[in-house]
Amino acid sequence: MVFLGSTLGKKNPTPEKLAPFECGKEPFAIPMGRLAIKFYLTAILFILFDVELVFLYPWAVVYRSLGFLGLTEMGIFLVVLMVGYIYAWRNGALDWN
């Protein structure tokens, strides 16, 4: 039904309807351009290291029952994450200049 309504329905394109949406009001300025890549890189790094916590939390809950093998596996996981963090740091991904 939604598909039929959007394809067969009455269309009345006006300049206001075709303009980019900006809080329901008419745009008052021309867009400044593209967003700097440092914002995307910061977001990707945040998501990467935030997902780490999703894997770290269940391990912390059952830490005592896992024993030495569980500790070793989590140690390897954390070492891999630290290598990635150091790699990003040395390549300047964390610099905000």
Write out pLDDT tens, residues 39-84: 888 888 889 888 888 888 888 888 889 889 989 999 999 999 999 8
The predicted structure's pLDDT at residue 33: 72
pTM summary value = 0.56
| Terminal Cα-to-Cα distance of the chain (whole angstroms) | 51
Q: Which two tokens stand for residue 61?
A: 């809950």
3-state secondary structure of 84: helix
Q: 27 Cβ partners below 8 Å, 6+ apart?
A: 19, 20
19 or 85: which leads in pLDDT: 85
